Amino acid sequence: MVWCAARSVRPRIERGFRIGFLLGIDIGGSKVALAVGDPEGRVRARLRRATEPSGEAGADLDRIAADARRLLAEAGVASRELTAVGVSAPGPVDAERGELVHPPNLRGWGRVPLRAALQEALGAPVVIENDANAAALAEWRWGAGRGFDDLVYLTMSTGVGGGLIVGGRLCTGVGGNAGEIGHLPVEWNGEPCACGLRGCLEAYVGGAAWTRRLRRIAPEPGRVAELAGGRERATPRELVAAAREGDVFALAEMARWNEYLARALAAVVFVLAPQAVILGTIATAAGEELCLAPLRKLVAARVWPLLGERLAILPSGLGDALPDHAGIAVALHSRAGG
Amino acid sequence: MVWCAARSVRPRIERGFRIGFLLGIDIGGSKVALAVGDPEGRVRARLRRATEPSGEAGADLDRIAADARRLLAEAGVASRELTAVGVSAPGPVDAERGELVHPPNLRGWGRVPLRAALQEALGAPVVIENDANAAALAEWRWGAGRGFDDLVYLTMSTGVGGGLIVGGRLCTGVGGNAGEIGHLPVEWNGEPCACGLRGCLEAYVGGAAWTRRLRRIAPEPGRVAELAGGRERATPRELVAAAREGDVFALAEMARWNEYLARALAAVVFVLAPQAVILGTIATAAGEELCLAPLRKLVAARVWPLLGERLAILPSGLGDALPDHAGIAVALHSRAGG
């Protein structure tokens, strides 16, 4: 558990609301992050711990609520000063009902009425968004997306998720499913995807799919396998590390990775004409030389110059601080609109 | 020139504005349509004539302005009652500057400061949108898109254009280029497109590209060529007509047409998760049996059930009346927001 020092935080008036403090809760597959902040994104107190699902959602929610109350007390924020609670949770999320729907990474969580439970426990309005939408909001408010009112955020981890800001507002679409860019087709009738379709971006650049591929094709012994302690354990992280050392196999795999990502981004550009695409997780780890610079060239070759020249392809600006801001951004979004 | 009977029209208050009458101007490659209407989309008077570009944009604009003044006089709308003028024009449009940028179908029109010229001539605010955006607004307000706040409109004519309504607002993107769905990739490194890229949807289902293909591959003599009066003259309209008669070649071509359209729509669905896709022009002509029903099946096979089941794929609701409503919708959009 990590606490950060209290900083000067003041309330703000936005669209007629006086916004006091906001509580953000980021429920990840491995970690839960809670943070208390203000509408400017300044974090007053934060807490992180392992998720450790007990197998019973009710007990897990009780623990999160207890952590939240303790954090608010430590931050010196009274109940009446808490304007809203925002939750960033792994999809699928039913944002309208405020429920999680069988999140695959949270053992024992079925259909969980998270909003109702936390509202009762914390006495403030609770809003839920899936993690990609929450990250898009946070990057737009305080990260690499500041100043761009049309942007796409892509998280590239086990799966590939996306969040869209369109005209300065979160774009949710039917059932909150806008931005499922991981399932854009990048090969017609290509590799089977975990979602049941074929040729999805995620089947090529998602961490889980990539690890399966590595197990199948990585040379043994090779640098990727060596770094991972065996081919069976290889993940995109070791691939990036091996590519950074100049390993030829790893560099070829990175080129393939960038090519498929560019195909999906070209489609996104022709649909939305965004000002910025912001890449998180593995793309951030791979960095400028291995990912961003080659990706910019590949995308530019697949879109019109007038679109490519005005498109920024950027790494996440919040990086490791994202979990502290994601939930706060969701809470602010619900109060301030846009 | 066609005039329609005057109907009861009354002004409306929207978001604090009192909106009187709106003038819509639809500048097409072959026809110019002008219409005077109200915020409810009721048309009070309209006029259509051949575009007949003179080779000099200034003279053409003078003629449009003169037509507009005559139409307003016939409709009994005084200058102070005219709230706004909306123009639907073939892309590319620089909506911010109010300029057309070398529209390929208007001979002698270079970079045309259309907004400034018409504002001076008509004494009311003028707003310009490209024709696909204007059509999306009109279908959303008064056509097949009523009640859907997330929709995609596709016009399938010589080229393929698109307009997006996202969260109840027109989505414009960088330079007004959102919705260029005609250039979504449907084959990797496929057919060359007029835009300079390869494998774009438009290179497969755009009228001009399709006519080129027909000249190359259509059996001669075949039913399509027969209906067109020679293979050289064949267009998608004759293909649709031949398919309707059960011609085997034409049916196979329609199936190919639907397959490529479904690929592009699947990508759009994963980006935006819209409630509705509305198809105009050739798709409307091809109708339920040849286009819409098979297309729905093909799209459903390429997206998640939860997205496909909630997606309506519909023909244009305004049909031939679209040119009367497109400009009025642009004018209303500029006044009422959304």
Domain count, chain B: 2
CB contact under 8 A, B184 and A271: yes
What's the farthest any 2 CA atoms get from each other in chain A? Answer: 63
Alpha carbon separation from B205 to A298, B282, B283, B316 (Å, rounded) = 25, 10, 10, 18
Nearest chain B residue to A272, by CA: B178
Q: What is the pLDDT of residue A8?
A: 35
Residue A105, pLDDT score: 76
Helix (H, G, I), strand (E, B) or coil at A148: coil
Q: What pLDDT sits at residue B17?
A: 58
Domain boundary among A66, A95, A124: A124
Predicted pLDDT of residue A110: 86
Same domain flag for B163 and B148: yes
Q: Is A35 in a helix, a strand, or coil?
A: strand
- Residue A42 φ/ψ, nearest 5 degrees: -80, 130
Kindly determine whether residue A185 and residue B302, on different chains, have CB atoms separated by under 8 Å.
yes
Angle CA A165–B156–B47, to nearest 5: 100
Selected for mutation to probe chain B from A202, A265, A269, A271 (highest B CB count within 10 Å) is A271
pLDDT in tens, B269-289: 999 999 999 999 888 999 999
Per-residue tokens: A54: 């007990």
ipTM of the complex as predicted: 0.91
Q: Find chain A residues with C-beta within 8 A of B274's C-beta.
A: 173-174
Beta carbons of A261 and A248 less than 8 angstroms apart: no
For residue A211, tell me if it sits in a domain.
Answer: yes
A316 and A168 within one domain: yes
**Residue type at B213?**
R
* Residue B31 sits in the same domain as residue B121: yes
For residues A115 and A143, state if they share a domain: no
Q: Return mean pLDDT, chain B.
A: 91
The B-side interface with A (CB below 8 A) comprises 150, 164, 166-167, 169, 171-181, 183-185, 187-188, 195-197, 263, 266-268, 270-275, 302-304, 306-307, 310-311
Query: Which of A270, A299, A304 best probes binding to B when mutated, by most B CB atoms within 10 angstroms?
Result: A270
Last residue in a domain, options A99, A124, A149: A124
This prediction has a pTM of: 0.91
Question: How many other C-beta atoms can be found within 10 angstroms of the C-beta atom of residue A252?
Answer: 11
CB contact under 8 A, B181 and A275: no
pLDDT of residue B337: 59
Q: What percentage of residues in chain B have a pLDDT greater than 70? A: 94
B79 and B220 co-located in one domain: no
Size of interface A-B (CB pairs under 8 A): 129
Are residues A207 and A106 both part of a single domain?
A: no
Q: Which residues of A touch B299 (CB under 8 A)?
A: none
**3-state DSSP call for residue A20?**
coil
Shortest alpha-carbon distance between residue A2 and chain B (Å): 37
Series of mean pLDDT values for 10-residue runs along chain A (338 residues): 37 60 93 95 95 90 96 94 94 84 82 93 94 97 97 93 96 91 96 95 94 87 92 90 97 97 98 97 92 98 94 96 96 78
Does B5 reside within a domain? Answer: no
Query: How would you classify the pairing of strands B151-156 and B99-101?
Result: unpaired
- Inter-chain touch A270–B184, beta carbons under 8 Å: yes
Report whether pLDDT(B1) > 50: no
A193: which chain B residues are within 8 Å (Cβ-Cβ)? Answer: none
Provide, as residue numbers in chain A, all residues whose Cβ is less than 8 Å from the Cβ of B266: 185
- Residue B7, in any domain of the structure: no
Residue B8: pLDDT over 50:
no
The CA angle A144-A145-A146, to the nearest 5 degrees, is 100
Chain A residues in contact with B268 (beta carbon < 8 A): 271
Query: Is A47 inside a domain boundary?
Result: yes
Check if the beta carbon of residue A258 is closer than 8 Å to that of residue A298. Answer: yes
Residue A188 forms part of a structural domain: yes
Q: Is B3 among the domain residues?
A: no
- Domain membership of residue A71 as a residue range: 12-124
Interface test with A, best of B174, B187, B302, B310 (most A CBs within 10 A): B174
Residue B224 has pLDDT above 80, yes or no: yes
B233 and B186, same structural domain? Answer: yes
- Say whether both A107 and A63 belong to one domain: yes
pLDDT tens for residues B153-189? Answer: 999 888 999 999 999 999 999 988 899 999 999 999 9
Residues A98 and A218 reside in one and the same domain: no
**In three state form, how does the secondary structure of chain B look?**
CCCCCCCCCCCEEECCEEECEEEEEEECCCEEEEEEECCCCCEEEEEEEECCCCCCHHHHHHHHHHHHHHHHHHHCCCHHHEEEEEEEECCCEECCCCEEECCCCCCCCCEECHHHHHHHHHCCCEEEEEHHHHHHHHHHHHCCCCCCCCEEEEEECCCEEEEEEECCEEECCHHHCCCCHHHCECCCCCCECCCCCECECHHHHCHHHHHHHHHHHCCCCCHHHHHHCCHHHCCHHHHHHHHHCCCHHHHHHHHHHHHHHHHHHHHHHHHHCCCEEEECCHHHHHHHHHHHHHHHHHHHCCCCHHHHCCCEEEECCCHHHHHHHHHHHHHHHHHHCC
Count CA atoms closer than 13 A to B284's CA, side-chain side. Answer: 18
Q: Which of B4, B37, B277 is nearest to A173 (CA)?
A: B277
Convert the pLDDT of each residue in B75-129 to its tens digit: 999 989 999 999 999 877 888 889 988 887 788 888 889 999 999 999 999 999 9
Both B180 and B277 in a single domain? yes
One domain, residues B313 and B331: no
Which are the contacts of A273, defined by CB distance < 8 A and separation ≥ 6? A150, A307, B172, B173, B174, B175, B176, B177, B178, B179, B180
Provide the 10 A C-beta neighbour count for residue A320.
Answer: 8
Q: Is A306 helix (H, G, I), strand (E, B) or coil?
A: helix
Provide φ and ψ at B119, rounded to 5°. Answer: -60, -45
- The answer to whether position A234 is within a domain reads yes
d(CA A39, CA A34): 16
**Contacts with B164 from chain A: Cβ below 8 Å:** 271-272
Asked if residue A150 and residue A44 are part of one domain, the reply reads no
Domain-embedded: residue A130: no
Do residue B177 and residue A307 have CB atoms under 8 angstroms apart? yes
Task: Give the CATH number of the domain where residue B202 resides.
Answer: 3.30.420.40
Tell me the chain A residues in contact with residue B177 when contact means C-beta distances shorter than 8 Å. 273, 304, 306-307
